[in-house]
Structure 1
Amino acid sequence: MSAPFGEPTVTSRAASRISLLIALGADNLGSGFFLPLTLVYVTRVVGLPLGVAGTTVAVGTTAGLLVPALAGPLVDRVGPRPVVIASQLIQAAGAGLFLPAHGVLAVAVATVALAGGQQLFYSSLFALISDVAGDGPKDRPFAVVAMVRAGCFGAGALAAGALLTAAGNDGLRTAVAVNAGSFLVCALMLAVLVHPPHRPAPDGRPARLRADRKFLSLIVITGLMALSVDFYLVGTPVYVLEVLAGRPWLPGVLLAVSTTINATCGTLALRATRRVTRIAAMRLGAVLVIAWCAVSLLALAVPAGWLSAVLLAATVVIAAGGLLFGVRANALATELAPAAARGRYLATFQYAFTVPGVLAPAVAGLFSVASWLPWLLVAGCAALAAAGLRRFA
């Protein structure tokens, strides 16, 4: 029996899901090529001093924080797929602008375009995944997407490292071109191959975000937890190399292990906690973050021969905590968002990730004050998150 006119068949829905995964994989493969090397490109190819380059990229990235507030109403008006496609085209333009860039202004324009497109992407992505996934809880679809994106980003980063080693500055230019091309491939696939079902009808729930204390509290709780992930990314190299005087290769190995876990264990984490509630799993994730802080602090006291093993164990703990919390937080946000304002709700929810990303370098800078201070702060945030989740139980 054929589906009603305008409704996707089971086969077309499956094709849309697979195409979405491939498109997002292409996006992250290209991002892995260039994003970790942005500052290297700006200093080596464009020729800006490191301090100027860092400030310019930071200011441009911060400008992208204005986008989620604008993106939400747009998603509610036209649907998430056109907005995601537009975000890919903007990011392609931003990446492409790095190629002819000479001087601070050109780098700032390219960075603003790239960061703005990225924020537009995240502000509409989860609504698109929700549409393509169809009815029911979104924990597993979000987990699968996160695994694909993490794996492709890691593969892109490894390829970029090899390219940089083999081709030097020419390799950096190639990485920029690959990144721009990956955004165009993603946009084309989304436009041609991804056909989500009709958007959900209003469900009668109030759509007043400013008055929705439960959803706003979820944003705060998620932000407290997201700080740990961003701090791990920027703080690990500082802690290992500057505080612990560890081997130069150790931060790269730890980040590779974390990426591998995120790329392979998302659905495993869901299965391992299938007998507990979503909120219980999220609280366990917060407890694991606190444990990660404790194990990392322990590294200050262990013999040098044990340092790598202790930090590897800490990496496994933080990766597990992130898997248990992150996917379910996105799924819970999608579930709490009323259909009539889902775009505005989910776009605003992205501030739970963007603000910690801005704050994480400052937290890592606290190592200059005391080696234990950042760990106490991050553990305290996780404890507050675990306590705040009680209202959702």
Structure 2
Amino acid sequence: MAVAEGDPDTSAPAAGAGGAAGAERSGGAEQAEHAADADDAENIALRIEELILGARRQYTPFQAARAAGVPMDLASRFWRAMGFPDIGPAKALTESDVLALRRLAGLVEAGLLSESMAIQVARSTGQTTARLADWQIDSFLEGLTEPPEPGMTRSEVTYPLVELLLPELEEFLIYVWRRQLAAASGRVVQAQDDAEMVDRRLAVGFADLVGFTRLTRRLEEEQLGELVEAFETTAADQVAARGGRLIKTLGDEVLFAVDDPGTAADIGLRLVETLGDDPMMPELRVGIAFGTVTTRMGDVFGNTVNLASRLTSIAPKDMVLVDGAMREELTAAGLAPHSEKAADSDEGRAAAYRFALQPLYQRPVRGLGIVEPWLLTRRG
């Protein structure tokens, strides 16, 4: 409503209206500033994306599938398997996405991979690299991109840093992947038959931090993160150094697998010994079982895995429990005596034993029947 300049009845409201208008202008200016900041951040994000992908956005999903010569349904399945959400009709895909679709579909067309296997390749690669990327951003780049000078924004630091690091990290990733591929290929060559690569006899172990749930309530988030990182790092080092394979980490728990039972026993005990020397680390429980394991996409499944998990849950603090099959493997290999009485009766042989095994009470375990755990320790 228009207001007459000399109207006394409306002069006061006019002043109030002016104040409100000023507030509106101030609020509008603030909103505009926020919008400008958001636009700047989005522009920086797009520039970083183009830098990393080496291409700009130019395709909708349908256009990318058509350019790659791949049915839209299959392209969507590949995309989701890699861990990415549906993006609708937006132009969000690049030439690199088209090339990736073309390569994967080409392997199927050439008969080198079945369609289901190609989906598994996309899924396993996506899951592995997603975790790696999250770790690098959260724990690595986040610290490095802290503005070095007052007044600088994180965005101003991030682009040149990514530009410098990207080729080096890419080369290192390819190197590690090739190393891991060579090791996995060696295991395939050494396997006696194809079935052995799917259903293998392995020692499977879990290591679990005691009282972790209570710690989550007591420690600050940063302290908890440092604790988990220290645990995972120590466990990974101990497993890898002795030729085991770290299958996965679950924050307060790690799962590892080893071909040789003696090596698995040594890893379990070294985890307890090493982490026990750290006064900031909670107690540890370790359970190891030996038997047939199904391997799939880098993970392990089956009753042996379930048994190792159950043994871990009932293990005393800072102790290692093994199952009867693991005990049989250790005694058959001459690494542990059948009984301490037998070891004492043959003093010459006793010096060759590396481990001692003490039977504990048998107990029923849901889904696994009666289990007889054995307490594993070092001799001497």
Q: Which protein is richer in strand relative to its size? A: 2
Larger radius of gyration: 2
| TM-score, normalised relative to structure 2 | 0.30
Normalization by structure 1: what TM-score?
0.29
Name the structure, 1 or 2, with higher relative contact order (CA <8 Å, separation 6+).
1
